[in-house]
Amino acid sequence: MHALVTGANGFLGGWIVEQLLARGDRVRALVRRDAPELAAQGADIARGDIRDLASLQAATKGIDAVFHVAAIAGIWGPKQTFWDVNVTGTANVLEACLQNQVPRLIYTGSPSVTFAGGDQQGVDESVPYPEKYLCHYPQTKAVAEELVLDANSPELMTCALRPHLIWGPRDQHLIPRLLERARSGKLRYVGDRTNLIDAVYVENAAAAHLQAADALQPGSPVGGKAYFITNDEPVNCWNWIDELLALAGLPPVKKGISTRGAYLAGTMLEGLWTLLRRTDEPRMTRFLALQLGTSHYFNIAAAKRDFGYEPKISMAEGMRRLKASWRS
C-alpha cells in the first residue's frame, strides 16, 4: 500500500513507518520538522501540520491508507490546545481523506477515553465513555475517536486502536520521565502497590496498526470499531516500575502515598496551577493519582478475532530489548 503516517516523528509513528517500509510498502511521513532518520529509511517526507487542512490535502493525495497517530498528550494544559490538535486536527484528517478518496483510516486512540476513575479489570470495548473526564487529553481523544468511527462508510473505512502504555526503545516520554523523577527523589508509589496494569511493547502496538489496516476491507468487521491493544499479560504496576528502575541502575520505589492522599494533593495542585495560570504539568493531578492507584487491564479478544492481533514480543523479551538499546 501507499501509506501516510501522521506524527511519524513520534515514538509509535516512527515504529509504524519502519514496519511498513520493512515489508515493502511506500510511506509518506507527515512531520512538522525535519526527519532525516525517516528519509534515510526511505520514507517520503511531507512537511505539514494536522491543524492545517491545506497541508493535509497535499499529503493525502494518492494515498491508500492513513495511519493517524499525531496527537497532543499530557495531563495538564489549556483545553483549547488539546482540542485544536486532537479534535480539529482529526476532523481535518477526515476531510482530507474524503476529498482525496483515501479508502482507509486507522486512528490511534487511547484506553483513557473509557477511564471513569475506578478499576478497569478485564473490560472490553463495550465499556462506555464516562460522563465526566478528569483532564483534557482523554476527553478530546474520545471526541476525536467518535468522529473517526462515525465517519466509517464504504467511501472511507475507519477504525480506532487503543494501545495502552506504549513502551520500549526510542521512547522519549514515558520511561525517561519516570527515570528523571526517580533520580530527583520525587517518585512515590500510589496506593497499596497491588494494582495490575496492562502495557504494550511498541513493536507490538505498531504491528497491530498494520494488521488492522490490512483487515480494513469492504465487509470486514473492523470498520467503525475501536479496539484495545495490549501485551495481554497484566503486570503489577509498581513491581514493573521497579524493574525499569533496576535496568537503569536505580533503587526501587520505597516511599508512597495513599490513592486518596494523592488525589487530594492533585486537587490542591490543580487549583493552585489554575490560580497561577501555569501551563507546566503539576507533580500530581487527580487523573494521575487515579491512574497510578487503580488497576486497568483490558480484554483484547476482539482484536485477536477481527484482525488476528497477537503480541509477538513478551513483556520479558521487551525488557531485554530495552536494556540492549540502552547499552548501545
Q: Could you give all domains of the chain from N- to C-terminal order, each with its CATH number?
A: 2-170+199-230+296-312 (3.40.50.720)
For residue 104, report the phi and psi dihedrals to the nearest 5 degrees: -140, 140
Alpha carbon of 262 to those of 161, 176, 251, 266: distances in Å?
Answer: 30, 22, 22, 6
Distance CA 247, CA 249 (A): 5
Alpha carbon of 118 to those of 103, 134, 164, 315: distances in Å?
Answer: 38, 12, 16, 25
CB 152 within 8 A of CB 223: yes
Residue 328: per-residue pLDDT: 79
H-state helical runs in the chain: 11-22, 36-41, 53-59, 79-82, 89-99, 136-150, 174-183, 202-215, 237-247, 259-276, 286-293, 301-307, 315-327
Contacts of 132 (CB under 8 A, 6+ apart): 116
For 242, the grid coordinates are 521497579
How many residues comprise the chain?
A: 328
Instruction: Please choose, from the candidates 144, 142, 126, the residue with its C-alpha nearest in 3D space to the C-alpha of residue 134.
Output: 142
One-letter amino acid for residue 316 of the chain: A
Catalytically annotated residues: 137
CA Rg, the chain, in Å?
Answer: 19
Residue 279: per-residue pLDDT: 86
Tally helices (H) and strands (E) across the chain. 13, 15
Average pLDDT per consecutive 10 residues, the chain (328 residues; last block may be shorter) = 96 97 97 91 95 96 98 93 97 98 98 96 97 96 98 98 96 92 93 96 98 96 98 97 95 95 96 92 94 97 98 97 92
Residue 145: per-residue pLDDT: 98
Q: Across-strand partners of 236?
A: 196
First to last CA, the chain: 33
Residue 250: per-residue pLDDT: 95
Q: How far is CA 156 from the centre of its chain?
A: 23
Residue 26: per-residue pLDDT: 97
HSE-up (13 A, CA, CB side) for residue 155: 10
